[in-house]
Structure 1
Amino acid sequence: MEAAAQLRDTNALYSLIRKDPYILDNFDRIPFIETPLHAAARSGNVELAMEIIRLKPSFAKKPNQDGFSPMHLALQNGQTQTVLQLIDTDPELVRVRGREGITPLHHASEDGDLYLLEKFLSVCPKSLEDVTNKGDTALHIALKNDKVEAFQVLTRCPPSVIGLKEADQCYNKRILNSKNRDGSTLLHIATSKNQVQIVRCLLNCKVEINSLNSDGLTPLDITLLDQTQSRNQEIEDMLRSAGALEATSLPIKANSTNLLRTDQRLNEAAQAGNVDALYELIWEDAYLLDQIDQVPFVDTPLHTAASMGHINFALEIMRLKPSFARKQNQYGFCPLHLALQKTHTQMVLRLIDVDRNLVRVQGREGVTPLHYVAEKGNVDLLCKFLAVAQSLSCR
């Protein structure tokens, strides 16, 4: 493997493959390892990198022992041509999370590389949604690093992501009002950094001006608390003109959303089957579903949706967090058990279409969904479950 990682050209690669046809597979079996593609990307050996990725596409997303993919290494070492070739091969590489959840788009945003930012967004617009472990989008990172031009590129390119078309307004609002793990919005950051131009831009975009961060501060509070010479009167005046308030002056109605517990809002979204509300909550806390998953016995949003019969919401939750489908609540029931108890037959069928193994999930007293339908005498579902169980046993 050491010899493979030190490859210099394609001929040397095939020489090693002739000696050991499984050499690339051996790399792939190890979850964190420096592959030949990492080495080629770091050194800017485009020809070799393209040959390796053709033979073993999975290498492109594999992290090394430091948590970096080949794309990350190419960026760190200024190998722009290699970066461009990699995303031509697979545009989704723009979204590969590395150490601390940093993607290539985040990296380019921190560096202020305008050319790569435009390229990344043109091939993978959805990458603007990705957040780091700290909950920062590329927009947060640009402002934190005073990369004003990078921020401007991110907010204008491509138009379908951050634009002024009526169809894009909901997405536009969600992106520009997103909070990181500290509860800071873009307006909080721009205010704290005295970025007058950005504050004016955000206010023109009608962002939420009285959002509270984790310290309970509004953007105006941040300006007023700055007792140094850097305090910017122009920003304070702009905020006040736009209707900005101090946290202590917020009316109860305006602050009610912040006071409402996130878990209560999530439960309401699940009860209503409101997918848009679900994603609004995820934008506020990217780890929302992970936090629920850490509790061994809990009513997840999937339990609620299954019990209420909201199929679209249930399928979206199941796609985002497949483990919820097997998780038991405090009464020992998984979502499929609840759907059966509430006789939501279409919900039951859609759930097992996604994961046939759910018919075998044991709940309270070891009762599986198959046991339940047999007890209830539901012949149609019993036949369906038996067919599914038989197909599983034939694997």
Structure 2
Amino acid sequence: MTIVFAAFQLLVLIPMSWFVGHSNSSRTARHRASYAMALTGVIALTELGWHAFELPGPGWSKDWLSMEDPHPWVPAFSLITCLMGFTAIALSPISASRPKTFRRILLLIAVALLFLTVRHPIGLAVLWSASALITWLELKDLKQPQKIAKLFAIYHLPSALAFTLGAVLLMQNHAAAGVVLLFVGIGIREAVIPLHSWFPPFVQYAPMGLVVAFFAPQLGVYAHLELLRGELPQQLAHGVASLGAITAVVAAALGLAQTNGRRALAFLVMSQTGLVAFGLDARSPVAQIGALLTWQVIGVATAGFAMTLASLQARRGDLSLTAPAGSFTRTPRMAVAFLFLGFASVGLPLTLGFVAEDLLVQGSVDEFPVLAFALIAATALNGVSVMRAFFM
């Protein structure tokens, strides 16, 4: 039944993306896209209720589509993805977005929703490549800087090729080569150090709504769960967990050195993504639950945090972290939202992110005692970055 609801969502988003792209102004496009995203969210909420009450579905859908049933948590994650998309659209500054930008945001969310329902490796590879292509087309239309689209292509063309070839090899029972290629493809998309050089410029120069629609659903996390978990040898799984922890700490430290607000955001996102990657390859069920919860909390909280930063930038210009600029005095409500969304993004106490990261640390401390301490250090550094940005 999940597949049927996903089809309804696509029937809303894909036609509406055409109307949004042909709007006569950015304001009209944003209104239309917001309504489309809200309707898609209602469909996702209906799907969640349908599964919660275990209502019967049409038997023909599974036989006709011949697809494997999605994971039981997909309805909830679909609703959260719709919330990310609505945030990316409704809070996008008019001055920094064109009608075509809103159209591509809708298409990226449509790809993300379909990605959650597909379990076939080739289907995932097609959607993986489609999301990168949609984003590249938007970057190609940007006037400044002209090299951002080229840099994006240099990284994401190999990512798409590696993911596709890895999926094919995995289906042909060449597991070792397939896993390595998939790991490379996912590592590039998730901006794991040292494959991250494309991400800070992308966050700095691309429309923030597009940035959120591209990174917040975290397609790489789902691909990791579906294709890699259980396939990695124990030694390689420990290596992946170590790389995730290193990315979390190093990115958090680099974030403290940034003087541009958007670049600081980029390194914060990289750090939190490293936390999720660390938990996915832990053997403890508690750590895996913490990773799944962190995945969704980071998506929603960071989407709100990023769009609040974009709204501040639309009012103040480029956000510099070198000297205080009086944001709390000039826009107190937005400043408070910025602070609390930032706290939720990094998992500080009294937020759901804290619960998620606490599960992550508790479940991994026995298996990776040193790396678990590194996660605590990364969280502390990210908290400092949020407070530093708040006072600037």
Q: TM-score, normalised by structure 1?
A: 0.29
Higher helix share: 2
Kindly indicate whether structure 1 or structure 2 has the higher relative contact order, using CA contacts under 8 Å at least 6 residues apart: 2
